[in-house]
């Protein structure tokens, strides 16, 4: 992550940023990789700069888990065919939070930053070469009516 992005974090949020990234860094070192680690720090820094800031209230462990989950949703971390792979339930267990709490916070993050699967801004560098169909952004198949 660039030094410029870190410098933009408001001073009142720097402690919270460190609290959350200490947790995400430990997890990334154990189960993910440097690519994920960098992207997770970037998402956390961006969230710290947004007003109102989601990260102000609540448990740092829950937010750390939610940031990892949000980045994982964009980059298919929960798909067994990918490496690294982590199950969402194992992620929640690691941070000792409920799946409902983790998924709600992750959804809030994804909505706040307009994150969706393979979105350009939050995609891992190793996935940048994947070309998406122009139709990809038009709909989410999960929201389509059942026939």
What is the Cα–Cα distance from 53 to 13, expressed in whole angstroms?
A: 9
* 8 Å CB contact between 64 and 17: no
Number of other CB atoms surrounding residue 26 within 10 Å = 12
Domain that holds residue 133: 3-143
How many domains does one find in the chain? 1
How far is the CA of 49 from the CAs of 34, 44, 58, 107, 127, in angstroms? 23, 9, 17, 18, 26
Average pLDDT per consecutive 10 residues, the chain (147 residues; last block may be shorter): 70 94 96 95 95 92 98 94 94 96 96 92 83 54 57
Residue 142 is predicted with a pLDDT of 61
pLDDT for position 4: 59
Model pTM score: 0.85
Cα dist from 37 to 100, 113, 147, whole Å:
24, 18, 41
Q: At how many degrees (to 10) do helices 60-75 and 34-49 cross?
A: 120
pLDDT for res 1: 52
Residue found by looking up tokens 């070192």 in the block: 29
Q: What integer pLDDT is reported at residue 120 of this predicted model?
A: 87
């Amino acid at each position: 992550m660039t030094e410029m992005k870190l410098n933009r974090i408001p001073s009142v949020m720097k402690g919270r940023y460190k609290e959350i990234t200490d947790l995400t860094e430990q997890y990334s070192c154990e189960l993910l990789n440097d690519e994920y680690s960098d992207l997770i720090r970037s998402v956390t820094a961006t969230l710290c700069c947004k007003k109102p800031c989601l990260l102000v209230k609540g448990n740092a462990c829950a937010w750390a888990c939610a940031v990892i989950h949000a980045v994982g949703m964009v980059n298919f971390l929960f798909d067994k065919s990918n490496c690294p792979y982590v199950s969402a339930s194992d992620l929640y267990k690691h941070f000792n939070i409920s799946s409902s709490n983790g998924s709600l916070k992750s959804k809030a993050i994804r909505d706040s930053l307009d994150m969706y699967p393979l979105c350009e801004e939050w995609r891992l560098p190793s996935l940048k070469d994947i070309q998406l169909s122009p139709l990809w952004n038009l709909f989410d198949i999960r929201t389509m009516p059942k026939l």
